[in-house]
Amino acid sequence: MTSDFDDKLGQPALMVLIRVMPFGTVFYFLAIIFVTLIATFGEILTISSIQPFINNITGESTEQGFLLTNIFSKFEIGDDQLLTLAILSIFIASTCRLGLIWMNIDFTNKLSEYLSKLLMQSILAKDLKFFKEQSSDEIISAFAIKIGNVSSSILAFTNLVTSVIITIGISIAVLSAEISYTLQAMCIMIILYLLLLTSLRNRMNRNGALIANKQSQLISICQSAIGSIRDIMLNKTPEPYVQSYTTELKKLNRASAVNTFFNQSPRFVLEAIFIIGVMILGTIHEASNSGTAFISSLAVLALAAQRIIPLMQQSYSAIANLFASNQAINDVLSFLDTKVIENKQKTNNTDSIKKIQLIDISFGYSSSKILFSKVNQDISVGDFLIIKGKTGSGKSTLLDIILGFVSPKRGKVVINGNEYLENGKFDFAGKVAFVPQKIFILNGSIRDNIIFNMGVRSEVREDNNDDDKVIDCCRTALFFDEEAPSDFLNTECGENGSKLSGGQIQRLALARALYKNPDLIVLDEFGSALDHATLSKVIANIKSKFKDGIVIFVTHSNVVAQEASKTISL
């Protein structure tokens, strides 16, 4: 499936992120810019008040001022007033800078929450083919880890913008007086950072891609180890998993460490260069007998450097972070697809399923590999349809076609007299209950597992605490014989049903399906973990309780086949 972001993935990932920002966050970002400008003015005011303040102390005249110094001189602002002004400007700048820290973090959280929601919606709106072709490790990694990398990149971007604005403001303030020295210092810092970014960009991009890949691999190793825990316990072979996990973790940590080093190290080099520069300038002016006049200029330069060096380091770190996170951002963006979300919106179809017609249904993966062809069947209310066939004959695929997960190569499916396509002219929401071969069990109680499904109809959701109904569904599924055991509904199932037997898991899934009051129940190889006598009783219960619906049952079992009112043989 082609995402509506595919044509943007060739662009820098940051630019794509900016384009998907919701309208409300744009105003928030403009508010951040406004507060940044106030902070910048506070920084300029602080630096401009330092020179006349020191000159008044040393008795030197202020012939050459810093931006606002001439204004101070014109109004004959004294020492006390200059001190008050300096304190006020420091308070303004510091308060705004603290506010910016919070605003940047809050902005990042809001945008990250929006992207996380969009990511979940996009993935859950994709078709079945996507989940068959896409590695679950990549999907889980996008949810669990890479969205965090996106958040870090958003914060880095906002920090970059605020840092650049404040740096420019401070630089203008200093340039207004000490043009020569300031230009030299600024050129040195800019050239150093540009050289570092240019030389390290490709390395940080490679490391970022490596980190994104290793994060997915670590999840894959953990999933494999947990899924193979019985084999590991029986054969006492944890070492291959431990060794594999440790090896990949070392590679990830190495790449992270290198990027962190590249990120943080330039500041110390700049600080050393600045200190040496100040010492040289002081020695030159002392040799030229310029007296104390240069002290105020040197103080302003020192204060400006104390402000600018962390800001430039923050800007450099932000750019480095964006380089390192580029692959993770692209991985997340590759899953986003707003068009699919819009296409998958419910149509609010309230019609019940009365009749399903399969007309000349054919399917194959290629012209030389046809699973089945010209399948025809009318299925109406009260029918108990059996789909049978040998392994690999396409029974589950035919189910997917009926449910709209897969499109047939030829033929059509007609619901209530209306043909529908894969992306839905008929809304199945709340009308179909599906019991698959691989059953998901929530790590919660029996009650949680029966009512957890968010696809149930609204009238059922409003009645989620109807324990009598839950128990009745469990009784129909033969989860117990006559009376429910004490505190039955609060019994914990364990992760993936670890506290239940295979037969209990299947019956719990059936009770979950019955709880939805569907028009159609689809069971894929249900009963494979049940003995014949129990399976016969369950089928009898289904037919008795579900006379006004349709049952489609994929099975190999002769016990089930004997109960069919209609049969499709593949």
Q: Is the pLDDT of residue 12 over 80?
A: no
- State mean pLDDT over 255-274: 77
Yes or no: say if 65 and 73 are a contact pair by the CB < 8 Å rule.
yes
Instruction: Let me know if 41 is exposed, middle or buried by CB neighbors in 10 A (0-12, 13-18, 19+).
Output: middle
Q: Is the pLDDT of residue 417 over 70?
A: yes
Query: 108-127 burial, b if ≥16 CB within 10 A, otherwise e?
Result: beebbeebbebbeebbebbb
Q: Which long-range contacts (CB under 8 A, 24 or more apart) does 342-345 make?
A: 343/125, 343/423, 343/424, 344/125, 344/423, 344/424
- Which tens digits make up the pLDDT trace of 491-529? 888 877 888 888 888 888 898 888 888 888 888 888 888
Gyration radius from the chain CA atoms: 34
- State mean pLDDT over 536-558: 85
What mean pLDDT is reported for the chain?
76
- Which tens digits make up the pLDDT trace of 425-460? 556 667 888 888 888 888 888 888 888 654 444 344
Yes or no: say if 437 and 493 are a contact pair by the CB < 8 Å rule.
no
Which of 29 and 177 is assigned the larger pLDDT?
Answer: 29
- Which tens digits make up the pLDDT trace of 122-172? 887 777 778 777 777 788 888 777 888 888 888 888 888 998 898 888 887
- Which tens digits make up the pLDDT trace of 99-109? 998 998 888 88
Yes or no: say if 122 and 341 are a contact pair by the CB < 8 Å rule.
yes
What local confidence, expressed as pLDDT, does residue 34 receive?
Answer: 93
pTM as predicted? 0.70
- State mean pLDDT over 30-57: 79
Q: Please give the Cα distance from 464 to 66 (Å, whole number).
A: 71
**Which H or E run contains 355?**
strand 355-366
Q: Please give the Cα distance from 193 to 269 (Å, whole number).
A: 11
Q: Residue 429: helix, strand or coil by DSSP?
A: coil
- Which tens digits make up the pLDDT trace of 151-163? 888 888 888 899 8
- Which tens digits make up the pLDDT trace of 457-486? 434 444 445 788 888 888 888 887 667 677
Q: Is the pLDDT of residue 121 over 60?
A: yes
Q: Please give the Cα distance from 515 to 453 (Å, whole number).
A: 10
Q: Among residues of the chain, what percentage have pLDDT more than 70?
A: 76
> Helix 23-58 crosses helix 293-335 at what angle (to 10 degrees)?
170
Give residue 507's Cα distance to chain centre: 34
What local confidence, expressed as pLDDT, does residue 337 receive?
Answer: 65
What local confidence, expressed as pLDDT, does residue 317 receive?
Answer: 82
What local confidence, expressed as pLDDT, does residue 454 receive?
Answer: 46
